[in-house]
Amino acid sequence: MLTELEELRTKALAELSRIDNLSELEKWRVRYLGRKGALTSVLRGLGSLPIEDRRSAGATANDIKALLEAELQRKEQGLREKELVAVLEQTRIDVSLPGYPVPLGRLHPTTRTLREICDIFVSMGFQIVEGPEVEWDYYNFEALNIPKDHPARDMWATFWLDTESGDRSRLLRTHTSPMQIRLMETVRPPIRALMPGRVYRYEATDATHESMFYQVEGLAVDQGITMSDLKGTLFEFARRLFGEGRKARFRCDYFPFVEPGVEMAIDCFICQGAGCRLCGNTGWIEILGAGMVHPEVLRRVNYDPDIYTGFAFGMGVERIPMLRYGIDDIRLFYGNDLRFLKQF
- Provide the annotated active-site residues: 156, 175, 201, 215, 258, 312
Q: Is the peptide bond prior to 260 cis by the omega test (within 30 degrees of 0)?
A: yes
Nearest to 333 by CA among 323, 342, 341, 325: 341
Contact 54, 60 (CB under 8 A): no
- By C-alpha distance, which of 230, 231, 260 is closest to 248? 231
Longest CA span, the chain: 129
Q: Which of 71, 53, 48 is nearest to 3 (CA)?
A: 53
Q: Which helix (H) or strand (E) holds 196?
A: strand 191-200
Q: What angle do CA 216, 244, 325 make, to 5 degrees?
A: 60
* Residue 158 to residue 108: CA distance in whole angstroms: 27
Helix (H, G, I), strand (E, B) or coil at 343: coil
Radius of gyration of the chain (CA): 42
SS3 of 220, please? Answer: strand
DSSP element (H, E) containing 204: none
DSSP for residue 100: P
| Residue from 312, 38, 277 nearest 194 by CA | 312
